Amino acid sequence: MTNYIIRRILQAIPQLVIISIILFSLMQAFGDPIATLGGRVPARQEDKERLRRQLGLDQPVYKQYITWLIGNNWQKIDMDGDGVPETPGKRLGVLRGDWGNSLVTRQPVTRMIGERVGNTMLLMLTAEILIIILSLAIGLYSALHPYSLLDNVVTSLSFVGYSMPVFWLALMLMYVFAVNFRRWGLPYLPTVGMYDPAVGKTPLELLKHMILPLATLVIISTAGYSRFVRSSVLEVLSQDFVRTARAKGLASNAVVMRHALPNAALPFITIIGLDIPFLLAGAVVTERIFAWPGMGRLFIDHTERSDFPMLMGILMLIAVTVIIFQILTDILYSFIDPRIRLG
């Protein structure tokens, strides 16, 4: 097992290097960070030339990549534009823990991600837990009582849920529970943000502001996942070993919980293992509509400005978590399914 883990981690290193090279090259197609600088009209040409030089954006891509990877603090940069490099570089590079500064805010990328990651995790992990519990519950019930009235109702509801566009559902929830409930004098929920500035960031405020975004995420994902659970449990229930378990007189509960569910759970775990890293990326649409200050919005905001150090930071973080969770999923497999041996 230990060998297996070490081998997987060693494999991850070249994987990450290749991913970073591909991403960095793709970044070049993102547009020019100097074109408008966030203003409504193009910047002056003298300023554009100077900024490109000062920020190193006039360098060939491979040099920019090397600076990003290992830094430039042994080189000098031409800051004053006389053609002679005179100012020592300060970058240490990703390999030495320096993810660079955002071109937009001039803040360290790590700091900016650090400010958002907690918010995204709070929203997304709570959502994921609710989704798992609800979809297991609904899926199991439907599988154990297939084609019952409730199963049919749930089935049609999940098709409705699954086919609703996120932005539509989010805005509907907001208009009903925040705008109209308030108008009708009912207890209402806040529209946007994480807390009310007049009240401050208390746990209760946080909870109130989480309800609508959570509902949006949970409704849509549960609809899909519960279908998945239902079909995989149904499939397992019809297999021989379940029949054997029943035949030897095990209680129905024990059959489902000890024999059917662990087998049915394997594909479900795969899906969740693949999904969790992307939780980090945040739910772009939901975060945007409910103004939730998470990673998804950070990514979008900085994509619009072609802020590649920031984008590289976020994408590499996701790449690393994807690899970690794949290893974790594989390990989890070997616990749940004794047939799988890692080594």
The residues pairing with 184 across neighbouring beta strands, listed in sequence order, are none
Query: In whole angstroms, how close is the CB of 64 to another protein at the nearest point?
Result: 14
Query: In whole angstroms, how close is the CB of 70 to another protein at the nearest point?
Result: 20
Dist CA 336 CA 340 (whole Å):
9
Q: Which stretch binds another protein (CB under 8 A): 15-23, 45-53, 248-256, 318-326?
A: 45-53
Residues 6+ apart with CB under 8 A from 225: 131, 132, 135, 139, 268, 271
Rounded to the nearest angstrom, the gap between the alpha carbon of residue 272 and the centroid of all alpha carbons in its chain is 12
Interface with another protein in residues 106-165 (CB under 8 A): 106-108, 112, 115-119, 121-122, 125-126, 128-129
Closest to another protein by CB, 157 or 284 = 284
Interface with another protein in residues 253-272 (CB under 8 A): 262, 265
25 part of the interface to another protein, by CB under 8 A = no
Residues 6+ apart with CB under 8 A from 201: 194, 195
- Exposure string (b/e) for 295-334, b if CB count within 10 Å is 16 or more? bbbbbeebeebbbbbbbbbbbbbbbbbbbebbbebbebbe
Closest to another protein by CB, 15 or 73 = 73
Residues 6+ apart with CB under 8 A from 3: 343
Total binding residues for another protein by CB under 8 A? 85
326 part of the interface to another protein, by CB under 8 A = no
Which residue among 151, 235, 275, 301 contacts another protein (CB under 8 A)?
A: 301
194 part of the interface to another protein, by CB under 8 A = yes
CA nearest neighbour of 193 among 181, 211, 180, 172 = 211
Query: In whole angstroms, how close is the CB of 125 to another protein at the nearest point?
Result: 4
Interface with another protein in residues 52-111 (CB under 8 A): 54-55, 79-81, 87, 101, 104-108
Q: Return phi, psi of residue 273, to 5°.
A: -60, -35
234 part of the interface to another protein, by CB under 8 A = no
217 part of the interface to another protein, by CB under 8 A = no
Query: In whole angstroms, how close is the CB of 157 to another protein at the nearest point?
Result: 25
